[in-house]
Structures are given as structure tokens and as C-alpha cells.
Amino acid sequence: MRIPAWTEDELVLAGALVVRNGWRELRTGDPEVQELSELLRSLPLHTAQARALPGFRSPDSVSRKTTDFMTNHSAYAGKATRCGRPTLLMIQAFTEREAEMCQAAVAIAESISSGELHLIPPQPDEVDETGVTAVEGRLLVRRALSRERDPSLRARKIEHVRRQGLPLQCEICAFDFAHTYGELGNGYIEVHHVTPLHVSGVRETRLDDLACLCANCHRMCHRSRPGESWRTPAALRELMRKPAEATAH
């Protein structure tokens, strides 16, 4: 059995370490490398058999990954080490969205240390049909999806909408389950965090943090593509408007 390739979550943590070090590599004996090695070994991402392999996320391998980040950064003048596309995409993400990506690393580390992420089972949609996961990491998607599926949170959001006298329909495309499916669809809608939890911070979810969405729009808000992991309802509405405008012209 071979040591598994680095996941997005692991790359987020390694990238944040390099950024904190001024985009410089860290050596094997560095205490922060030793600490990250221990953290990576504890992530609920790989099988027990993989984690037991000699050299799995060892300090040596962590140090080598920090070298990949340093030498493949645009500001590095020397020869770049060879690394895979996921590492290059992560370097791009940290270059373009440094503060947000560092916050994602903090959210992963805090959720692991608190034990929260060990208690959340894998969610069906944390990896899409193409095998792509969010550049911020699968574990953060897992946590977001788990919270969005909390029945009590969804019920509170629906009650909030009804008390305002608003129709229970998708806030992006206006799809109404009851109008389409009759009694079967009455009272049904999905809820979505407008801003990902690693951006908004770890705090109690407020009803204003949630949007009511149909299943299609909800999936499109979560769908990952290279370098882009999520989009707000407003951003998705804009994406939908562009094809319509092109057709009109």
C-alpha cells in the first residue's frame, strides 16, 4: 500500500505554515513541522492502514511539502521542485486569498483539537461527482453540510420565513416545491450557509446566516471547481443571469 496523496485539507495546513514563515520552507527538526506532522496524522481522512504506514506524513514529508510551496511560489527565483496540480492550486489560493485560506487552516485545526470533526460522519456531498473537493478542504465542507442538515435549524429558518409572510421558495431561482409537487412539496426547502463557516468564523448560526434554496441551486452553491470552492446565492444569481442575457442578445 502506498502513502496516500496529500488532500486539500492537509495542503491548507501546510500552506498556512509556509505563509506564517514568510513563504520560506521549514526544516524537519522545526517544532512547527513536528507539530503539523502530528496533526496530519490525526485527521479523519485516511484509513487506519494508511496512517500506520512508515513515513506517513512524517516530519520529513511535511518539510518537503513546505519546500514545494516555497519553490513554486511566483516570488521564488530558484528552480521549482516538482509537485502535483493540487499543490499548485493551493499555492494560487494562498497567493490570491491569503487571509481567507489562513482562516480555513485555523478552522480545521480548531475543529480537530476540539474533537468536533471526529464526531461528524462523512457527508454524501463532500466530494462531488467528479471527485473534486473544496480547495479549503473536505473537512470544512463536511462540517458545513452537517450543520445545514440539522433538522432543528432548518425548521427555525422555515418558521422565520413564514412569520415574515414570505413565500417558501428558492431565494435564487424562486422555485416553489409546493407549486410543482403539490402536497408532497408543501413546507419543503433546503437551507444553505450564505458564507462558509470558515469565513464567518466559528459561532452560533444565526437565521440571517441562512438562505432557503431549492436542491439544484443548493448543489451549485456548494459545487467545487479548480480554485473555486463555494459561491454565495448572489454570486450564483449573477452566473445564471449571464447566459440569459447572452441568449437575449
Q: Who has greater pLDDT, 23 or 201?
A: 23
In terms of residues, how long is the chain?
249
Measured CA to CA, the distance from residue 160 to residue 170 in angstroms comes to 15
Task: Evaluate if residue 130 carries a pLDDT over 80.
Answer: no
Mean pLDDT over 87-109 rounds to 93
64 class by beta-carbon count within 10 Å (0-12 exposed, 13-18 middle, 19+ buried) = middle
Structure confidence at residue 162 as a pLDDT band (50, 70, 90) = very high
Are the C-beta atoms of 229 and 198 separated by less than 8 Å?
no
The model carries a pTM of: 0.85
Q: What is the pLDDT of residue 49?
A: 93
Q: Give me the mean pLDDT over the 83-93 stretch.
A: 94
